[in-house]
Each structure stands twice: as structure tokens, then as C-alpha cells.
Amino acid sequence: PHVLVLHGPNLNLLGSREPGHYGLATLDDINRVLVSRGEAVNAQVETFQNNHEGALIDRIHQAAHDQVDFIVINPAGYTHTSIALRDALAATAIPFVEVHLSNIYAREPFRHHSYFSDLAVGVVSGLGAHGYELALEYALRHLPNRTS
Ligand code: DQA
């Protein structure tokens, strides 16, 4: 299986960014765990972070071309704003889990709405970096085994 993990804007700052909300793990720490988990079960796990909406959209289009089986995405601030990013996921129809480090429902009202949740297979919010691992486990367990 081939899983793409997408990280939206400002997540490159993890480790130093508002640790009370987002924890002390860096993005590299998080990605390393996910990639090695994939290696352990012969799955290809790719990660991509970008601060620009269009770059994330282009990466989703490429994922369809690359026959990615599953996406784990933390759209970060775009969660609450981006119809275009939502449309990219809808267009490719690649199943995805939406992940948030913080519990968006325990924060400001403008974070309570997500443009992604109704399309997502599921949502993990508030479990910190562990949320990404849980989303990846779901993907690995629910995908057929392929050799490529
Ligand atoms: C976030 C929550 C969003 O509201 C925020 O804009 C982020 C990160 C999270 O992982 O908790 O940048 O997606």
C-alpha cells in the first residue's frame, strides 16, 4: 500500500509553535515514526508539508496520478477556510483521515467547522502526534496488500 501524509501550513514549526496546543514533537519526529511504521509492514509512506494551498492541491493531484491508496491529512489552518483543498480531495476520491493535534472543538468557535470532515473516512482531533499514528494504523489495516 501507498499512503501519503499531508501537513498544512505552519506545521513545519512544530516543536516550538504553541507547544501547549501542539506538543513538543517536531514534524521530522512525527514523520520519522510514520515512515518507519510503514517500512515495518512493507508499505510506502510518503510525507509532504507545505505552507501554500496550491502546492497542497498539486500534491493531491499527483497522488491520484501515483495511485496513492490513502491520505492522512492535517489541513491545519486550511481546515477552516479551504474549499479548494476540499475539492481536490473530492476530485481524486482518495479515501482520507483528517488529523488535528489539538482538539479543535475545545478551542475558538472558528475552529469548530471543518471543510473536510464530512468527506473524511474519520477524524482524529486532540490526541497530539499519536493521532497521526492512529490514522496510519487505520489506513494500513483497511487497505489491501499490494506488492508495489
Ligand atoms: C490544527 C488545528 C487548526 O485549527 C490550526 O489552524 C492548525 C493546526 C491542529 O493540528 O490542531 O494549524 O490543524
Distance CA(79)–CA(116), nearest Å, equals 7
User: How high does pLDDT run on average in the chain?
Assistant: 96
Q: Interface pTM (ipTM) of the complex? A: 0.99
For residue 145, pLDDT beyond 90: no
Consecutive H or E run containing 19 = helix 19-22
pLDDT for position 100: 98
pTM of the model: 0.95
CATH architecture of residue range(s) 2-141:
3-Layer(aba) Sandwich (3.40)
User: Which residues touch 4 (CB under 8 Å, ≥6 apart)?
Assistant: 46, 47, 48, 59, 63, 68, 70, 71, 72, 94
- Report how far ligand 1's centroid is from the alpha carbon of 100 (Å): 6
What residues does each domain of the chain span?
2-141
Average pLDDT over residues 91-103: 98
Q: How confident is the model at residue 148 (pLDDT cuts 50, 70, 90)?
A: very low
Contact assessment for residue 79 and residue 107, using Cβ atoms and an 8 Å cutoff:
no
CB-ligand 1 contact for 30 (6 Å cutoff): no
Q: Is 105 a catalytic residue?
A: no
pLDDT of residue 143: 83
101 among the known binding-site residues? yes
Amino acid at 105: Y
Catalytic residue, chosen from 2, 7, 22, 115, is: 22
